[in-house]
Structure 1
Amino acid sequence: MVKETGRKVIASNRKARHDYTILDTYECGIVLAGTEVKSLREGRASLVDAFATVDDGEVWLRNLHIPEYGLGTWTNHAPRRTRKLLLHKKEILRLVGKTKESGLALVPLSMYFKDGKVKVELALARGKKAYDKRQALAKRDAQREMARTAGRAAKGRW
């Protein structure tokens, strides 16, 4: 059997970057059942409502939706079960200290295969206010317009 190499994205949470200011990111392993991995290999997962919590020195990923495997039998998994994340003890202690601060949350940004193993990119994030979101959208639109104008100038079309 050929060993997988590289990084293949399964799912990404694009809305998280809009709703939160990302302060720090961590790469975590995740404890999965066999049918969950088979379902992920089909590219089926949703990080939309997912979040992580630190309970008793362990990090848990909640509300991650991995649909049931189509060819699974009675051994199939529950789609929204709580899954354990694998981090070093030092990283977990750092997360415990940071999440005690007000307004900080643990949000999964993406889920991917790295060298055949499922990994989760977990972010320590602060929620944005509505005016911050509007300001970010206005800034992105202005940059897009500047790039469009520069492209037209380079082509000689004003």
Structure 2
Amino acid sequence: LRDLGAVRRLTGDYGGAADLLGEALEQFRALGNRHGEANTLCALGMERTHVRDFDAATELLARSRSLFKEIGDTQGEAEALNATANLLAESAKIRQALATYQQALVLTRQTRSPLDEAHALEGMARCQARTGNTRQAAIASLREALAIYQRIGAAETPAATQYLTRMEAGYA
């Protein structure tokens, strides 16, 4: 259910995603599966971010991160931090988002999670580009993210390549 909810979110069916994720959350709680609960809270937080329900997203992602921390899942905590940073960026809190991506980057490097590391670096680049005075830092962060995406064959590679091209041309 959680994975189906994530797929629905990725395809833009946010209502369907919320329904499936809510059902998954109930089942994980009934089973006492705290790891599943934490992952589902994170997915719900991402879904709420997409529909711009920032208050709900903030609460869900904070609960997710707290639960990941309690159970000792540093990689999950890093994923929740990346999602929180994305929420902050979407709600125009760019400096807070950048600091949160930087926190996530530290954890992703500790856990050797390349996809999460690349997400943190790309998020940092997007925030750096929006602050206006750190264009070279943004390009460096994005190049580092792109190298990881390419190395692991990530689906994010084409979009990151296009963004880097625009950024290097001065359009981003």
TM range (shorter): under 0.3
Structure number with the bigger relative contact order (C-alpha 8 A, sep ≥ 6) is: 1
Q: Which has the larger radius of gyration?
A: 1
TM-score (norm 2): 0.22
Report which of the two has the higher share of helix: 2
Report which of the two has the higher share of strand: 1
TM-score (norm 1): 0.23
